[in-house]
Chains A and B, each alone.
Chain A
Amino acid sequence: MELEPKKKREKVPRQPMPEQSPLERIKNFNEVPLGYSEETAMLEASRCIQCKKPTCISGCPVDVNIPAFIKLIAEGKFMEAARKLKETNSLPAVCGRVCPQEDQCEKQCILAKKGESVAIGRLERFAADYERNSGQISIPEVPSPNGKKVAVVGAGPSGLTIAGDLVKMGYEVTIYEALHKAGGVLVYGIPEFRLPKSIVEAEVHYLEKLGVKIETNAVIGRLRTVDELFDEGFQAVYIAVGAGAPVFMNIPGENLSGIYSANEYLTRSNLMKAYLFPEYDTPIVRGKNVAVIGGGNVAMDSVRTALRLGAENAYIIYRRTDVEMPARIEEVHHAKEEGVQFKLLTNPVAYLGDENGWVTGMKCLRMELGEPDASGRRRPVPIEGSEFVIDVDTVVVAVGTMANPIVPATTTGLETNKQGYIVTKDEKGETTRQGVYAGGDIVTGSATVILAMGAGKKAASAIHEFLSGNEQTT
């Protein structure tokens, strides 16, 4: 009798998620995957064998109780599943979409060792969407205010997470956001077709309902400094400003018109909704031949945006091979399906322009892989005499980002490393200045949404410890 249900489980394959066809979706900015139906979600959830010692949780930076929420889905208790998720993850609808589950929870899933892991990310997305679409988002009881104020600098994934956690512990939390909208990379960076902005808005709205105050257009370091936040009565400050400065390659012609940083290209399209120009006022270049340089998720987001903006040829220019590409396999797969042309082992060395200063071509070298470098990946080496030109009218440079110095440079007693990232004592985010904590990309350099959220979570408990300790001594 005991063997029977197990056998039955193994027969159910990992459920695919329906999605817009490539030909259809490159004509719009709507989300590509369409989500599970209730039946599919329950079927997929039934694949989870409810391990007594679940390994999946150890793969989750925010310790979601994965078997528990999946069990609730299997039982058809979708609202309860969403609530279970929200106990530890304040942004489940976001994480269900943008987390690299294949490297985290799903990689640790016991089923992955024998075949295909449970589709944890898709189930997370399903439960969070179910709750949001029901219009009955439950607001947990927030304890009465403990009278202590914490300021959070930056309303990205890390800042939103810590704000949610601290407000649930009774703190008065104000987030200062430099842009006109909260969400950070979730609103300016990740495109609508991967993360609908209405979802981010709903998550932000949820935090506001919990009592988090969000002040937009507040550039800390200019309007107020961290020192002044303490003067104003905040007892702790969490800095989560991201790695917001673009990296350029410093090659000739890089300032020609038509050449963007990925930050600018994506910010125009996502935050400013330039893809809806002229209904929205912000313009963007709708290039015919668009080259995106880089092999990460940001490069994939950029090149797929270019296609949707009407590019006839959209290229990924990457100096290594697809094996070394840092982008998620799913993103690369989507890009290929949509017709993106991958020019691998190729590196730009200069840009050519016309008499109006507009880019017309990109001089490239072919590369080959040599010995492994510090990152462990084989170093790309130029092949002598291999120079060739790709005709382009738009280029997006997506080779990484670096620390934005505005906050560190204006905060006294805050140590940064050579690259400008904030130095923390441990993973709890304690900095060299008492009461100041930091986390997310401004500490680690560009990483993932979920790691930034994990940092926010750890810093929340560290700040709680710090401020509770204060109470005992006073």
Chain B
Amino acid sequence: MNKIIEKTDLSENVVKMVIDAPAIAGKRKAGQFIVLKIDEKGERIPLTIVDSDAERGAITIIFQIVGKTTAKLATLNSGDGINDLQGPLGQPTEIENFGTVVCVGGGVGVGVVYPIAVALREAGNRVISIIGSRTKELLILEQETKDVSDRLIVTTDDGSYGFHGFVSQALENLIQEGEKIDRVFAIGPVPMMRVVCNVTKPHGIKTIVSLNSIMVDATGMCGACRVSVGGETKFTCVDGPEFDGHDVDFDLLASRLRMYVDQEKEAFEKFRCECHGT
């Protein structure tokens, strides 16, 4: 049982939680994730560790409410417990001084790319961050990202704040401006990561993406999270979650993410009914 220490609503459907997990906090490196299971009947879901504080013995997660499990998680408050927390899992981000790096985050992906930006900055990189959301109210971690970036570009799809357009367009503009970019980290919804890779590929800019495949055990045991990278099957949980985006088969990733769409809907609706019923 791991206790929730703090809970903050970052936007209408994005929640930040600080959870007591001393052993994980002491070990975790940027890019790694945990698997959590809320209660006896819960499913196991992977979530990136956004931050860790070894002294306090706590880790931070940020999640968007997209289905039953995340909705149920969002009903918990500080003081409540999470039955099972397993981690840190996956390969840490490859961090070194690349020169100038661009960290691109879309939606809740901003939370995932943020710790990478922190680590890259600490390694001496010049960090440019491009973060975006559908609309202003959904933008998260703007100040935090600004604090660790040499330059911050904010985008909204509807133009309600910052650059009117997608993060990929802002990146394209940056390249057109003549910015010399040594590496891009792009994390967000699958279509966003795919488009960012399409932008960087012609320029030969290596682009790392973090994949959010469906997982069960997350230790390489089941293969639920398999993806095709450079024509080879890889397991996101142990080989990833980060891969060279130019080699990722995004079509396969997207179709495998839709595998349980009907059941997810059914469970979510049932949960909402039960919630409103009581």
Contact = CB atoms under 8 A, between A and B. Distances in A.
Contact of A357 (B221, B256, B264): B256
Interface stretch (A55-63, A158-166, A219-227, A375-383): A219-227
B64 interface: no
A183 to B, nearest CB: 13
Interface stretch (B40-48, B99-107, B125-133, B169-177): B40-48
A446 to B, nearest CB: 13
A264 B259 contact: no
Contacts, number: 115
A267 interface: yes
B216 A272 contact: yes
Nearest to B37: A180
A334 interface: no
Interface string B245-259: 000000110011011
Interface in B212-248: 216-217, 219-224, 226-228, 233, 238
Contacts of B23: 223-224
A356 B259 CA distance: 9
Contact of B24 (A223, A261, A282, A406): A223
Given A279-B41, A285-B259, A406-B238, A244 B68 contact: no
Contact of B27 (A222, A263, A268, A272): A222
Given A219-B219, A280-B41, A285-B260, 14 more contacts: A180-B37, A223-B24, A244-B219, A244-B221, A257-B259, A260-B223, A260-B224, A277-B263, A278-B267, A279-B41, A281-B69, A283-B43, A283-B263, A285-B259
Given A246-B223, A257-B258, A267-B222, A281 B41 contact: yes
Contact of A261 (B223, B255, B258): B223
A261 B226 CA distance: 11
Interface in A204-263: 216-219, 222-224, 244-246, 248, 250, 254-258, 260-261, 263
B83 interface: yes
B115 interface: no
Contacts of B233: 248, 250, 254-255
A282 B220 contact: no
A244 B220 contact: yes
B87 A223 contact: yes
Interface string A312-347: 000000000000000000000000000000000000
A219 B33 CA distance: 13
A340 to B, nearest CB: 23
A349 to B, nearest CB: 17
- With most chain A CB atoms within 10 A of its CB, the pick from B224, B227, B228 is B224
Interface in B68-107: 68-69, 83-89
B270 interface: yes
B259 A216 contact: no
A43 interface: no
A180 B41 contact: no
B17 to A, nearest CB: 17
A125 interface: no
A467 interface: no
Contacts of A357: 251-252, 255-256, 258
Contacts of B228: 255
A95 interface: no
Q: Which of A250, A258, A267 is packed against the most chain B CB atoms within 10 Å?
A: A267
B221 A263 contact: yes
A218 B24 CA distance: 10
B41 A178 contact: no
B223 A281 contact: no
Contact of B216 (A267, A277, A406): A267
A257 B256 contact: yes
B83 to A, nearest CB: 7
Given A245-B221, A263-B221, A283 B83 contact: no
A264 B84 CA distance: 19
B228 to A, nearest CB: 6
Interface of A: 178-180, 188, 216-219, 222-224, 244-246, 248, 250, 254-258, 260-261, 263-264, 267-268, 272-273, 277-283, 285, 356-358, 404-406
Contacts of B226: 255
A19 B240 CA distance: 46
19 contacts: A178-B219, A179-B86, A179-B217, A180-B84, A219-B87, A222-B27, A244-B220, A255-B228, A257-B255, A257-B256, A257-B258, A260-B223, A267-B221, A273-B41, A281-B69, A282-B43, A282-B216, A405-B220, A406-B219
Nearest to A401: B221
B266 interface: yes
Contacts of A217: 84-86
Contacts of A272: 43-44, 216
A278 B256 contact: no
Contacts of A279: 41
A397 to B, nearest CB: 9
Contacts of B85: 217
A290 to B, nearest CB: 15
Nearest to B251: A357
Nearest to A405: B220
B37 to A, nearest CB: 6
Contact of B270 (A178, A218, A256, A278): A278
The 6 A-B residue pairs with the shortest CB-CB distance in the complex, in nearest-first order? A357-B255, A283-B263, A264-B222, A281-B43, A180-B84, A217-B86
A261 B43 contact: no
A263 B222 contact: yes
Given A178-B219, A278-B266, A281-B267, A255 B252 contact: yes
A204 to B, nearest CB: 16
A393 B233 CA distance: 21
B21 to A, nearest CB: 10
Contacts of B256: 255, 257, 357
A268 B42 CA distance: 12
